[in-house]
Chains A and B, each alone.
Chain A
Amino acid sequence: MTRFWTPWEGRPRPHYSGLSALLAGLGRGVYRVAAPVVRHRWFAAPVFFGVVVLGVVFVWLCGLFNEAVLADYPVLRDLLVVTGLAIFVSLVPVFCIWWERKVAGRMQSRCGVMRVGGWHGWAQSPADGIKCLTKEDLVPDDADPVLFRLAPYFALTPVVVAFVALPFGTYWVFRHLEVGLIFVLGMLGVEVVAVIMAGWASASKWTVFGAMREACQMVSYEIPLGIALLLPVMTVGTLNLAEIGNAQAGGWHTWLVFRSPFLFVAALVYFITSLASCKRAPFDLPEGESELVGGYHTEYSGMRWALFFFAEYVAMFVVSALAVILFFGGWNSVLPDRWGEVLGDGYLARAVRGVVFGGPLWFLVKSFLLIYVQMWLRWTLPRIRIDQVLYACVQVMLPLAMVLLLGHTLWELWLPPELIAARVVNVILAVIGAGLLLAALAVIIRSRLNARRLVGYLAVDLLPGA
């Protein structure tokens, strides 16, 4: 293989002008310098290791300075937190797009991306980003010039602003909002406006109808979503996300999902309705239609389209993070917090407690596990029609959510957690949850051990010559 790719003889050269020429030249220069290094097989490991080390150092510095120095400099703290959040929000879609393609490949008995970058195609996402930057800036003639250009930013901004109230740990939050939960819900609801704007501004019948359907779906599923979210709020008694997370600090049996059978089902209802509000998995009819006919982002290309997909993956993370905080223990580990008190209060003790007994790491791992479940559902289940979508919302999810709300209210009134019956049910549900997790682990281990026989050698061994 050549050290870097060159166009074939007689390929028509694209003409860039102005800022686009600068960007294209920059991209081409970066590629020529980086390609021989990046394609080397052992490039990925040091990069990954370096990123992890830098991340750990950044997090440790934040934890160190948050109490001592930064309490007196709110502006500096805010700047640091905003920088950290901007970096995180940029990295999550980049990683998730690569991961989605690998997961899709695995689900379909193939390897996924393998070429770009030396190890399992890790550089595919940055390469896609550079490609999107160098694409033609296309605006349809009949499109509304202002709204067409504005729509991707209307889609991306709310989900990024939702991170203002989203805690990664007890003190790892930009602002301790008293009304954190409904703030995040409001931000997710604002996305509908962006969808309508994008569909309308494209000046095409198909995009308008696709945007209408999609907005209708997102708005309808907000109702059972909100009702399902009422249950943990009612249990803990506050809308403050940090307090809800702290209420589940006593070990994995205190996670809200195991407290009553109504909360158990409510977690499932929330997960399904959040899939619909993210336009994900079986509810991606508008996106699926975009492969065939229309859809709100059909006229968008290049970086604008990339921004819509950034918004989608960041929304996936926000929605998974909400589920983790409200139902699955937030940033607490499976061990109770008070077992960690014996360690003392030094720096090392705090670091160990942050890793073992709860902290942002647990939060990230759990959120990405839920994102994996979302990707798993997308590549397993077929798409459902719009009338089936609305039937599921209004005739299944909504009555179910109402029954859960009523049932949980009565449960909290008649069976407070001190009663022995409530504890028995709690333990039974916790055992069921642990059993499900262990069963999933067993299935994964078995399939990894028998991969060549079950899935085929093409998904396991590299092709000759790769």
Chain B
Amino acid sequence: MTKRRGLGFGAMLLLAGGCCLLACAAAHGQDAAPAAEQAAEVGQLYDHPVVESLLFYSLAAATVVAALGVCIARDIVRMAIWLFVTLSTVAMLYFLLAAPFLGAIQLIVYAGGTLVLLVFGVMLTSRSPWIRFEVRPSELLAAGAACLVLLVGLVAALLRAEWPEAAAGESPRVATLGAELLTTYLVPFEAISVLLLVVMIAAAYLVRQEPKE
């Protein structure tokens, strides 16, 4: 199987490089001093700013590489595993940001749930599980153009944005999150539960057995 490296591949590389640049810009723009004051009760993060920067850069690089892997992989299951690595590194980034609840929920919902669903869907619905992707040059061109436009727009927007100072304080307690969900954000919460109910009913309807005449 010949390897097709076209414009789309180059555009994806450009996107990856742009994201790395963005990460560096954002990290340097931030003031490194409050790192010591952010009493990460969440896990006694090493308060040294160098360690924190090192962790952030390596995790960000890992996320970008894994996302690239999702795009470049030829095999569906390998793509799913790269996606799992991406989701896990994002969860680690959440832990680094002193948002442990969000990190744990990311692991449970995305890595443990959505990914499994994806793999089930792929494996149970594809005609031949060992099919490999064949990409036409026109598709590569369209994908490359779309990626380039998105890259330019994202880089421009993110570099121009005003990043607020990181609030030096403790991470919100889970009890506070729960209380907020049930008081201030009750309407989105109920809307999401209605959405999940609709999804479940639709899934049950799709797999129903026709009554035999």
**A window 234-267: CB within 8 A of B:** 237-239
Q: Decide if A197 is an interface residue (CB 8 Å cutoff).
A: yes
**A window 276-324: CB within 8 A of B:** none
Shortest CB-to-CB span from B127 to chain A, Å, is 15
Q: Chain B 105-141 against A: per-residue CB contact (8 Å), 1 yes, 0 no?
A: 1011001110110011001100001000000000000
Q: Which residues of A contact B41 (CB under 8 A)?
A: 176, 178
A219 to B115, CA, bound (A): 12
Given A74-B46, A147-B78, A200-B77, A177 contacting B112 (CB threshold 8 A)? no
Q: Which of A144, A150, A175, A197 is in CB contact (< 8 Å) with B44?
A: A175
A212 to B44, CA, bound (A): 39
Q: Decide if B22 is an interface residue (CB 8 Å cutoff).
A: no
Q: Chain A 207-247 against B: per-residue CB contact (8 Å), 1 yes, 0 no?
A: 01000100110010010000000000000011100000000
Contact between A196 and B116 (Cβ–Cβ < 8 Å)? Answer: yes
Interface stretch (choices A112-120, A183-191, A413-421): A183-191
Shortest CB-to-CB span from A278 to chain B, Å, is 15
Contact between A186 and B116 (Cβ–Cβ < 8 Å)? Answer: no
Q: Which residues of B contact A239 (CB under 8 A)?
A: 174
A187 to B91, CA, bound (A): 12
**Highest count of chain B CB atoms <10 Å: which of A183, A208, A238:** A183
**B window 71-112: CB within 8 A of A:** 75, 77-78, 81, 84, 88, 100-101, 104-105, 107-108, 111-112
Q: Which of A74, A178, A212 is in CB contact (< 8 Å) with B123?
A: A212
Least CB separation from A216: chain B residue: B120
**A window 159-194: CB within 8 A of B:** 175-179, 182-183, 185-187, 189-190, 192-193
Contact between A186 and B104 (Cβ–Cβ < 8 Å)? Answer: yes
Secondary structure at the A interface, as helix, strand, loop or mixed, is helix
Contact between B112 and A190 (Cβ–Cβ < 8 Å)? Answer: yes
Contact between A74 and B44 (Cβ–Cβ < 8 Å)? Answer: yes
Given A178-B171, A178-B173, A193-B116, A144 contacting B77 (CB threshold 8 A)? yes
Given A144-B75, A175-B43, A208-B129, A187 contacting B107 (CB threshold 8 A)? yes
Q: Which of A182, A212, A237 is in CB contact (< 8 Å) with B108?
A: A182
Q: Chain A 92-130 against B: per-residue CB contact (8 Å), 1 yes, 0 no?
A: 000000000000000000000000000000000000000
Q: Which residues of A contact B112 (CB under 8 A)?
A: 186, 189-190, 192-193, 219, 222
A176 to B112, CA, bound (A): 23
Given A144-B78, A212-B123, A179 contacting B101 (CB threshold 8 A)? yes
Q: Decide if B175 is an interface residue (CB 8 Å cutoff).
A: yes
Contact between B115 and A193 (Cβ–Cβ < 8 Å)? Answer: yes
Q: Which residues of A contact B119 (CB under 8 A)?
A: 193, 196
A74 to B46, CA, bound (A): 8
Q: Which of B88, B105, B175 is in CB contact (< 8 Å) with A238?
A: B175
Shortest CB-to-CB span from B203 to chain A, Å, is 13
A196 to B104, CA, bound (A): 21
Contact between A178 and B42 (Cβ–Cβ < 8 Å)? Answer: yes
Contact between A182 and B78 (Cβ–Cβ < 8 Å)? Answer: no
Least CB separation from A200: chain B residue: B77
Contact between A192 and B116 (Cβ–Cβ < 8 Å)? Answer: yes
Q: Which residues of A contact B120 (CB under 8 A)?
A: 212, 215-216
Q: Which of B75, B107, B111, B123 is in CB contact (< 8 Å) with A208?
A: B123
Contact between B43 and A190 (Cβ–Cβ < 8 Å)? Answer: no
Q: How many residues of A contact B (CB 8 A)?
A: 33
Contact between B115 and A178 (Cβ–Cβ < 8 Å)? Answer: no
A435 to B180, CA, bound (A): 44
Least CB separation from B107: chain A residue: A186
Q: Which of A74, A176, A182, A238 is in CB contact (< 8 Å) with B104?
A: A182
Shortest CB-to-CB span from B199 to chain A, Å, is 15
Q: Which residues of B contact A212 (CB under 8 A)?
A: 120, 123-124
Shortest CB-to-CB span from B178 to chain A, Å, is 10
Shortest CB-to-CB span from A72 to chain B, Å, is 13
Least CB separation from A239: chain B residue: B174
A182 to B108, CA, bound (A): 8
Least CB separation from B110: chain A residue: A186
**B window 160-213: CB within 8 A of A:** 171, 173-175
Least CB separation from A240: chain B residue: B174
Contact between A189 and B171 (Cβ–Cβ < 8 Å)? Answer: no
A185 to B107, CA, bound (A): 9
Q: Which residues of B contact A144 (CB under 8 A)?
A: 75, 77-78
**Highest count of chain B CB atoms <10 Å: which of A75, A179, A196, A208:** A179
Shortest CB-to-CB span from A387 to chain B, Å, is 14
Contact between B171 and A193 (Cβ–Cβ < 8 Å)? Answer: no
Contact between A177 and B123 (Cβ–Cβ < 8 Å)? Answer: no
A208 to B88, CA, bound (A): 24
Shortest CB-to-CB span from A160 to chain B, Å, is 15
A13 to B190, CA, bound (A): 70
Contact between B100 and A178 (Cβ–Cβ < 8 Å)? Answer: yes
Contact between A178 and B46 (Cβ–Cβ < 8 Å)? Answer: no
Shortest CB-to-CB span from B63 to chain A, Å, is 17
Contact between A238 and B174 (Cβ–Cβ < 8 Å)? Answer: yes
Shortest CB-to-CB span from B116 to chain A, Å, is 5
Given A178-B42, A238-B174, A183 contacting B104 (CB threshold 8 A)? yes
- Give 6 CB contacts A-B under 8 Å: A75-B46, A186-B104, A186-B107, A186-B111, A189-B113, A219-B116
Extra A-B contacts (19), CB below 8 Å, given A150-B81, A190-B112: A74-B46, A144-B77, A175-B44, A176-B44, A177-B43, A178-B41, A178-B100, A182-B105, A186-B104, A189-B107, A189-B113, A190-B88, A192-B112, A193-B81, A193-B112, A193-B115, A196-B77, A212-B124, A219-B116
Binding site for A on B (CB under 8 A): 41-44, 46, 75, 77-78, 81, 84, 88, 100-101, 104-105, 107-108, 111-113, 115-116, 119-120, 123-124, 129, 171, 173-175
Per CB-CB distance, the 3 closest pairs between chain A and chain B, nearest first, are A189-B112, A186-B107, A186-B108
Binding site for B on A (CB under 8 A): 74-75, 144, 146-147, 150, 175-179, 182-183, 185-187, 189-190, 192-193, 196-197, 200-201, 208, 212, 215-216, 219, 222, 237-239
